[in-house]
Structure 1
Amino acid sequence: MNVIKRLLVVPVVLGMAFTAVNCKNDTKKDETAVVEEMPEASITKSDFGMFQDSIPVAKYALVNANGMQVDIITYGGIITSLKAPSKDSTFQDVVLGFDSLDKYVEGSPYFGAIIGRYGNRIAKGTFELEGQTYQLPVNDGENSLHGGTAGFDKVVWNAEEVKDGDNVGLKLTYLSPDGDMGYPGNLETTVTYTLQADNTLMVKYEATTDKPTVVNLTQHSYFNLSGDFDKTILDTEVMINADQYLPVDAGLIPTGELRPVAGTPFDFNTPKKIGTEINAEDDQLKKGLGYDHCWILNGNGGEMTLAATALDPESGRFMEIMTTEPAIQFYTGNFLDGTLTQKDGEGTYAYRSGFCLETQHYPDSPNQADFPSTVLKPGEKYETTTSFKFSVRE
């Protein structure tokens, strides 16, 4: 377990001067306190391996003046590590992931990745747009999940460092060609991560196309705010600002109904532990094997709105999520099974050892006319923003 504890170091330098006057020793003590200055925000680049034996992958460490650090690799735009403070000022990594490129390539459950072109599921991997039917790769039963077999999580992005005063960031760009994973149009995509001075990680998504297409981008970090990946996330207290959610069928495709959360295990308007009702006798929980559903956010008209919060009571780590998106997918690590090795190589990621809160549009929107549209046309610009703010609650 990687633990970093920041200490304010105050070394004291004592200067002693001795003078003999009338056979007495007059000792004068000069004390000067030297306080270590807090470091400036910084970006550090390093190598993270070679993709397909020929494409270099870089890692960028974004560090703010408080000591919060976010590591991002150009493969998949993946957040490999995020060190946030606890109430005793201990910085620990709070996102699941791997310590080598090979492990991400060999079989990652989307740990920390940028998801696209379409986050979440599209029924039977097909949709119709302007009279033409498009077939996508099927990689989740009979459905297409997270952009198909080689979505944005499995490509190498171009990277540009961004620094603005106390804020440091990484601008990632990728051109998804016409027909990529079955989607129409050349899609120019930009995702910018910015670590701010107040311990907020901003994620801004932008895209343009030369043909009508569908787009739904998101970020797929698995969080464990305890900083101890051997623990489950069942004691984490979660709030989701939503009065409705989308019930799903056996394939986890929304039925089209917008169901009230009141009186159900899906009501998180008041913070409660993830484990409180996760094993309740509920048909929807059985279909998801726990929570793996989309909540419809309250009062979101495209402005930054509070979507969710999460608190680890023991460490005091508190995360607030704001977004311009209309919905959020809450997933509780139901398919983690202990077969994936932790970053330190000493343990595995067990059942429900991480949770995801993925801001997005609704799943299967291209096939459901009553859902908000995810169509992007030439001349338009796709723009959404989500922020993750980390603080401490006593």
Structure 2
Amino acid sequence: MHVQEKEQTVAGQSWKVYTLENDHGMSVSFLNYGGIITNITVPDRNGKLENVVLSLANYEDYLDNPNFFGALVGRVAGRIEGSSFSINDKKHLLPANEGDHHLHGGSTGFHQILWETTSFETDTQVGVHFTHTFPDGDGGYPGELDVSIMYTLTNENNFEITYQATSDQDTILTTTNHSYFNLSGDLKRDILQHDVQINASQFIELDHELIPTGELLSVDDTVFDFRKAHPIIDGVHSIDQQNLVASNGFDHYFIFDHSNQPNVTVTDGESGRKLEVLTDQPGMVMYTANGLDDSIQLKERNSTKYLGVCLETQGSPGSLKHEGFPSIYLGKDETYHKTTTFAFRTLND
């Protein structure tokens, strides 16, 4: 197992490009800019190693990354309605970057930070430790926030992301990674035939601007019932109003039933690849790339609708306006600590 580190000059900045590789040939490459994952190479059922995430063709393209390809997301992943929230009876205004709403931490979020990084190697794992201190008021958020994130690869083909943070004031926080997964390998096909299983009995209803209405809906008798695996394409052909508001697909928060692990399983029958997601987050936004078009140059090909699926494990920003949603409140001097593991397997295992 080893870590490779290279320097790359991008728009006058010195970026670091890291590659973690285990003893079985699995590798994960990423930047210290935005923590952006640019490559995850894993075997198919025949042992063929191919990339299973979407990445832009050129590093420079990540300077403007409105689709958040591969990026760390914070301080708050998801949409904050009306770009404002109140804490301790004080209203905080955030910059609107999607209509009237604040999306994925805004323009100064985690995805556009040049993180301090340190690599590590042991007999059982390799990884990189990211750190950054966000000043009080940065991006409109209260509290000086010390953030520590670790990317770790094991010999079991597990890629683990651990998030830790503390604030010197009461604040809000929920973090995620916005990688688009495509298990076909090197983007040979879209993800419509990927089978998904999610241990979730409820999901959050959205309005036409993808803002939570405040209603928790049962998955029973809908295409949102992934308790038994079924393909993503079912949501594309669905006439359910919730699929229609998401541009014929999914962009919804599922609340996990934590009685079973893994929380999520994605399989591609043709390649034989399987991805299991295990997390202590309360839920996940599954986004099926309904908003992509063919205008973006990716490493292997141009982008298309439904070319990847994001599995954004996180709390719910809807909790800022509605009762009963997974909270994103972080108290002064409390420690935020969350872990998500992406375990890559094959159907042969």
Smaller-chain TM-score bracket: over 0.9
Superposed CA offset, 1:178-230 (max 9, x none)? 11110011101111010011000011000001111100000110001001424
2:5, 2:309 → 1: CA distance?
28
Does the Cα contact within 8 Å between 2:80 and 2:317 map onto a contact in 1? yes
Confirm or deny that 1:46 pairs with 2:6: yes
Structure with bigger gyration radius = 1
Q: What percentage of residue pairs aligned between the two structures are identical?
A: 37
**Aligned-residue offset at 1:371:** 2.1
Confirm or deny that 1:80 pairs with 2:34: no
1:385, 1:64 → 2: CA distance?
20
Q: Which runs of 4+ in 1 moved over 3 A?
A: none
Alpha carbons of 1:88 and 1:230: their partners in 2 closer, same or farther (altered >3 Å)?
Answer: closer
- AA partner of residue 23 (structure 2): A
Match of 1:364 in 2: 318
**Aligned-residue offset at 1:306:** 2.1
- AA partner of residue 290 (structure 2): N
Match of 2:109 in 1: 151
Report which structure shows greater RCO (CA 8 Å, sep ≥6).
Answer: 2
Does the Cα contact within 8 Å between 2:285 and 2:314 map onto a contact in 1? yes
**Aligned-residue offset at 1:366:** 2.0
**Aligned-residue offset at 1:155:** 1.1
- AA partner of residue 98 (structure 2): D
**Aligned-residue offset at 1:374:** 1.4
- AA partner of residue 336 (structure 1): L
Residue aligned with 1:378, SS: coil
Match of 2:82 in 1: 124
Superposed CA offset, 1:96-118 (max 9, x none)? 01243211113341011110000
**Aligned-residue offset at 1:176:** 1.1
1:1-394 pair list within 5 angstroms: 41-51=1-11, 53=12, 55-289=13-247, 290-299=249-258, 305-344=261-300, 347-394=301-348
Residue aligned with 1:46, SS: strand
**Aligned-residue offset at 1:368:** 2.2
Unaligned runs of 5+ in 2: none
Residue aligned with 2:181, SS: coil
Does the Cα contact within 8 Å between 1:87 and 1:393 map onto a contact in 2? yes
2:296, 2:41 → 1: CA distance?
21
Residue aligned with 2:64, SS: helix
Does the Cα contact within 8 Å between 2:195 and 2:231 map onto a contact in 1? yes
**Aligned-residue offset at 1:370:** 2.8
RMSD: 1.3
TM-score, with normalisation over the residues of structure 1?
0.86
- AA partner of residue 341 (structure 1): Q
TM-score, with normalisation over the residues of structure 2?
0.96
**Aligned-residue offset at 1:305:** 4.2
The more displaced of 361-370 and 280-289 is 361-370
